[in-house]
Amino acid sequence: MEIKKYTFLPHGDERGQLVVVEENKDIPFDVKRVYYIYDTLADVTRGFHAHKCLEQVLICVHGSCKIHLDNGFETEEVLLDKPYEGLYISNDMWREMYDFSSDAVLLVLASQYYDEADYIRNYDEFLKFVRSKNS
């Protein structure tokens, strides 16, 4: 499995740091939706889904968390703990976010507006979906 991480250029001086993320320049899609997750307890796992079309870039802008990725054939765990790094997640990737630090803020940039029909929330259905695409 190829994991794509983007490193965004921090601009900083004695006043602090600034990171800019531009659609179709720093990430590979138009941003249609932005949301963030925070105040998540350390023992909580979120996600448990994939998407048919939507792509995402996840940035842990504060604190840290881990991402479990599964493409239907192999899995990988990714640590997000730098506010200038983004993790690209393609549309046909099962994702679970876990092990949130108490101060974690996970920012998500999404390529599509919310559409419940785009979600695959059942793991067995996800496996059928990715295997049918690869046959």
Candidates 49, 51, 62, 68; catalytic one: 49
49 catalytic? Reply is yes
What SS3 state is found at 125?
Answer: helix
Find out whether 55 and 90 touch, Cβ atoms under 8 Å: yes
The β-bridge partners of 134 are none
| 94 contacts 126 by C-beta, under 8 angstroms | yes
Alpha-helical segments (H) within 10-122: none
Taken in order 90, 93, 99, 100, the sign of the CA dihedral is positive
Cα 130 to Cα 134: distance, rounded to the nearest angstrom: 6
Which residues are catalytically annotated?
49
